[in-house]
């Protein structure tokens, strides 16, 4: 039986090396992209530091990270629930915690979702199977 981490406090106590099972979200945003979804891990290209775990919907190229598709780490996952964040101007940049490279900048997508617009060439990603 796979343990699903819906309780985000739970995740905070686990080390990054320990494997955590996440459950893909299935909602209108995913359906709008054709229903296919998978996880990717995103890393800093400068220092190879892990940045975040992300649910990619659909087949297109990755251009931005919507807040409601970030699963880990906790401080990024929590942004979507932060009542103080009302618009993209309330969001910080997406910064590598290891080398301080700015990987993404806040934006509002036309579907109403807040996101980080990723800066090309500053990250690499691995598909999680």
Provide the binding-site residues for Zn ion, judged by CB under 5 A: 44, 46-47, 49, 96, 98-99, 101
Report residue 112: phi and psi, to 5°.
Answer: 95, -5
CA-to-CA distance for 94 and 60, rounded, in angstroms? Answer: 21
Pick between residue 47 and residue 62 the one whose CB is nearest to Zn ion: 47
The least distance separating Zn ion from the CB of residue 99, rounded to whole angstroms, comes to 3
Q: How many CB atoms lie within 10 A of CB 59?
A: 8
Pick between residue 96 and residue 115 the one whose CB is nearest to Zn ion: 96
Report residue 82: phi and psi, to 5°.
Answer: -75, 115
Pick between residue 63 and residue 98 the one whose CB is nearest to Zn ion: 98
CA-to-CA distance for 32 and 35, rounded, in angstroms? Answer: 7
Specify whether the CB–CB gap between 88 and 95 falls below 8 A.
Answer: no
The least distance separating Zn ion from the CB of residue 16, rounded to whole angstroms, comes to 15
Pick between residue 8 and residue 102 the one whose CB is nearest to Zn ion: 102
Whole-Å CA distances, 115 to 8, 43, 45, 65: 20, 17, 20, 5
The least distance separating Zn ion from the CB of residue 49, rounded to whole angstroms, comes to 4
The least distance separating Zn ion from the CB of residue 48, rounded to whole angstroms, comes to 7
């Amino acid at each position: 039986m796979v343990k699903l981490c819906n309780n985000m406090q739970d995740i905070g106590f686990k080390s990054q090396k320990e494997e955590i099972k996440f459950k893909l979200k299935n909602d209108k945003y995913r359906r709008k992209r054709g229903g296919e979804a998978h996880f990717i891990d995103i890393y800093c290209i400068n220092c190879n530091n892990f940045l975040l775990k992300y649910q990619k919907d659909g087949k297109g190229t990755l251009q931005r990270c919507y807040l409601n598709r970030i699963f880990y780490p906790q401080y990024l996952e929590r942004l979507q629930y932060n009542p103080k964040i009302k618009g993209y101007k309330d969001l910080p940049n997406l910064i590598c915690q290891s080398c301080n490279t700015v990987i993404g900048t806040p934006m509002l997508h036309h579907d109403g979702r807040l996101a980080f617009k990723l800066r090309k060439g500053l990250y690499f990603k691995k598909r999680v199977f």
